[in-house]
């Protein structure tokens, strides 16, 4: 081979050797000593490293500034043997993580296979963030946003991100539900949509598993750790579904009343769902609005009496009314006077009509009759005597002309009559006392006449 060609080949090899990336552990070409001082325990032997690899870190780039280079060149000019630069990192909590992160500075790129699990990625992330090794920080975040988490993992990630004051990647922020990632997506709105889907599934006759899942969501939304907004989500979603279910039920009952083709299965499912929704409202202690809803449900009341014979909803209706009346009776629900009055005046005529015209409406459940009767009487006695007058007029017109006389509100009626007599007695006594006071006042104001002396 000609001499010029040999010289050129050697020069190219030397240039390639210079450009070739340094390898971790190549002590022969190392130009830097790194000392890792642990927070506790003995010092570690220094690491022989390459400044060229470390410059991927902004921290090391700053430490390896021009003043270090100038110090090195000045020692060369003075004829002294150049010594490796020395850098010391103090108070290293996890020296193993530092060594791992420094090894990654030698890699062309940081791969996801670098990390064994979430905790391992967090260990590396803390060191990479300290050393301002941005490629490694990004790789840690890509790994964390992609792998499954346990509850403990999520707490650790949140704690790490907060402690390091990191600006996390958009996908990791979205997964952590950070405020910045929720500008266009409110958690309460998302929960309301999902809960609405679950409730719709349940009302369409889904298996019991769907109910179990829905109940867990409803209960979790009212835990102390949950936001008040989620409790409001429960109320909105449940009442929306209750109203929708009642509307569908009324459609089927109107068909039944008009001797049209109606869906008996849908009525059966609706009856079950209405009872379940009310149970959930009571369990969550938000059933006040349900009492008000039924106190104003004139349309359903009219549908119920339009065709009595074997009305498929009657027994369920009685069960619902018993639940509402007993809640008022026990103080489980505290409703205003007008709501209590509306509940009784709306449904008393229906109860009387259905109960007196068909014994089959109760099936074989005599306890249901008794509970309904007791609940009505108890709620009636919570009302002022002027309201009770309206109720007893309805009762007299609807029940006393029937042979069965049900519901029997005679006990409440007797108590009301007693209150009227007592009120009249007190009024009479008041009139007597007022008359006596006026006579005494008149006698005191009349002038005393004295006999004249001649």
446 located within any domain? no
318 and 399 in a single domain? The answer is: yes
What pLDDT score does 291 carry?
A: 95
Q: Which of 149, 182, 215 is the endpoint of a domain? A: 182
Residue 354 near residue 361 (C-beta atoms within 8 A): yes
Residue, of 11 and 409, whose pLDDT is higher: 409
- 67 pLDDT more than 50: no
The confidence band for 15, taking pLDDT boundaries of 50, 70 and 90, is low
177 and 195 in a single domain? The answer is: no
pLDDT digit string, tens, across residues 431-447: 777 777 776 666 655 55
What pLDDT score does 77 carry?
A: 53
If you search the block for the tokens 């309460």, which residue do you land on? Answer: 188
- 260 pLDDT more than 90: no
Residue 358: name the closest of 299, 307, 398 by CA. 307
213 and 354 in a single domain? The answer is: yes
Q: Which two tokens stand for residue 347?
A: 């449904």
441 located within any domain? no
Q: What is the pTM of this model?
A: 0.66
Top mean pLDDT of 16-30, 125-139, 153-167, 185-199 is at: 125-139
What pLDDT score does 179 carry?
A: 61
212 and 172 in a single domain? The answer is: no
pLDDT digit string, tens, across residues 358-389: 555 555 567 888 999 999 999 999 999 999 99
442 located within any domain? no
What pLDDT score does 1 carry?
A: 54
For 413, residues 6+ apart whose C-beta sits below 8 A from its C-beta are 392, 395
175 and 192 in a single domain? The answer is: no
Residue-by-residue DSSP string for 305-347 = HH--TT-TTHHHHHHHHHHHHHHHHHTSS---HHHHHHHHHHH
Q: What is the chain's mean pLDDT, rounded?
A: 84
66 located within any domain? yes
pLDDT digit string, tens, across residues 246-259: 998 999 989 888 88
439 located within any domain? no
pLDDT digit string, tens, across residues 320-349: 999 999 999 999 999 999 999 999 999 999
Mean pLDDT of 160-164: 89
Which domain covers residue 172, as residue numbers? 18-182
Q: Where are the alpha helices (DSSP H) in 134-207?
A: 134-146, 151-164, 170-175, 187-203
* Cβ neighbour number for residue 268 with a 10 Å cutoff: 14
pLDDT digit string, tens, across residues 78-96: 545 467 788 889 888 899 9
- 261 pLDDT more than 90: no
Q: Which of 182, 216, 251 is the endpoint of a domain? A: 182
Q: Which long-range contacts (CB under 8 A, 24 or more apart) does 328-336 make?
A: 328/291, 328/375, 328/378, 328/379, 328/382, 329/374, 329/375, 329/378, 329/379, 332/282, 332/287, 333/287, 333/288, 333/291, 334/288, 335/288, 335/291, 335/292, 335/295
174 burial (CB, 10 Å; 0-12 / 13-18 / 19+) is middle
What pLDDT score does 411 carry?
A: 92
192 and 126 in a single domain? The answer is: no
364 located within any domain? yes
What pLDDT score does 71 carry?
A: 55
* High-pLDDT (> 90) share of the chain, %: 44
* High-pLDDT (> 70) share of the chain, %: 83
Residue, of 102 and 188, whose pLDDT is higher: 102
Mean pLDDT of 111-132: 92
103 located within any domain? yes
For 291, residues 6+ apart whose C-beta sits below 8 A from its C-beta are 324, 327, 328, 333, 335, 339, 343
Identify the weakest region by mean pLDDT among 18-22, 83-87, 116-120: 18-22
Residue 211: name the closest of 199, 227, 229 by CA. 199
Number of domains in the chain: 2
205 and 352 in a single domain? The answer is: yes
157 and 195 in a single domain? The answer is: no
Q: Which of 140, 166, 182 is the endpoint of a domain? A: 182
Q: How many CA atoms lie within 13 A of 249 on its CB side?
A: 28
Output the domain CATH number for residue 50.
Answer: 3.30.710.10
Q: Which two tokens stand for residue 246?
A: 């009642």
What pLDDT score does 17 carry?
A: 47
What pLDDT score does 416 carry?
A: 92
148 and 197 in a single domain? The answer is: no
Q: Give the DSSP letter of residue 38.
A: E
The Cα 361–Cα 366 span in angstroms is: 11
What pLDDT score does 11 carry?
A: 52
265 and 173 in a single domain? The answer is: no
178 and 191 in a single domain? The answer is: no
318 and 210 in a single domain? The answer is: yes
What pLDDT score does 264 carry?
A: 85
What pLDDT score does 363 carry?
A: 53
55 located within any domain? yes
- 130 pLDDT more than 90: yes
The confidence band for 3, taking pLDDT boundaries of 50, 70 and 90, is low
């Amino acid at each position: 081979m000609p001499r010029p060609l040999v010289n050129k080949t050697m020069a190219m090899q030397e240039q390639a050797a210079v450009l070739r990336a340094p390898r971790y552990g190549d002590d022969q070409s190392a130009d830097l000593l790194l000392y890792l001082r642990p927070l506790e325990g003995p010092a570690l032997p220094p690491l022989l490293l390459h400044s060229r690899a470390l410059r991927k870190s902004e921290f090391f780039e700053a430490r390896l500034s021009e003043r270090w280079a100038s110090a090195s060149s000045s020692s060369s000019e003075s004829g002294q043997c150049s010594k490796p630069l020395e850098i010391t990192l103090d108070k290293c909590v996890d020296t193993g993580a530092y060594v791992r992160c420094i090894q990654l500075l030698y890699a062309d790129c940081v791969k996801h296979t670098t990390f064994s699990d979430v905790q391992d990625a967090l260990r590396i992330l803390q060191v990479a963030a300290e050393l301002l090794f941005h490629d490694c920080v990004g790789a840690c975040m890509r790994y964390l946003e992609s792998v499954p988490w346990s509850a403990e993992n999520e707490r650790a990630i949140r704690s790490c991100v907060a402690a390091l004051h990191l600006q996390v990647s958009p996908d990791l922020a979205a997964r952590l539900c950070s405020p910045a990632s929720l500008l266009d997506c409110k958690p309460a709105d998302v929960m309301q949509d999902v809960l609405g889907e679950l409730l719709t599934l349940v009302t369409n006759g889904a298996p019991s598993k769907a109910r179990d899942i829905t109940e867990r969501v409803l209960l979790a939304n009212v835990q102390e750790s949950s936001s008040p907004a989620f409790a409001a989500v429960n109320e909105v979603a449940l009442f929306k579904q209750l109203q929708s279910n009642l509307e569908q039920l009324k459609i089927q009952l109107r068909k039944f009343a008009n001797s049209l083709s109606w869906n008996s299965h849908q009525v059966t499912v609706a009856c079950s769902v209405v009872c379940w929704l009310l149970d959930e409202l009571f369990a969550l202690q938000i059933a006040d609005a349900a009492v008000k809803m039924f106190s104003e449900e004139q349309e359903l009341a009219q549908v119920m009496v339009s065709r009595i014979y074997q009305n498929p909803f009657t027994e369920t209706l009685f069960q619902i009314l018993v639940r509402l009346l007993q809640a008022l009776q026990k103080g489980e629900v505290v409703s205003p006077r007008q709501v209590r009055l509306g509940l009784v005046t709306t449904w008393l005529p229906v109860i009387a009509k259905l109960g007196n015209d068909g014994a089959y409406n109760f099936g074989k459940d005599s306890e249901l009759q008794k509970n309904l009767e007791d609940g009505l009487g108890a709620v009636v006695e919570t009302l002022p005597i002027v309201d009770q007058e309206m109720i007893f007029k309805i009762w007299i017109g609807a029940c006393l002309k029937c042979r069965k006389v049900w519901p029997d509100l005679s006990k409440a009626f007797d108590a009301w009559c007693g209150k009227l007599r007592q009120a009249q007695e007190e009024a009479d006594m008041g009139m007597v006392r007022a008359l006596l006071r006026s006579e005494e006042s008149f006698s005191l104001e009349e002038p005393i006449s004295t006999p004249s002396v001649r």
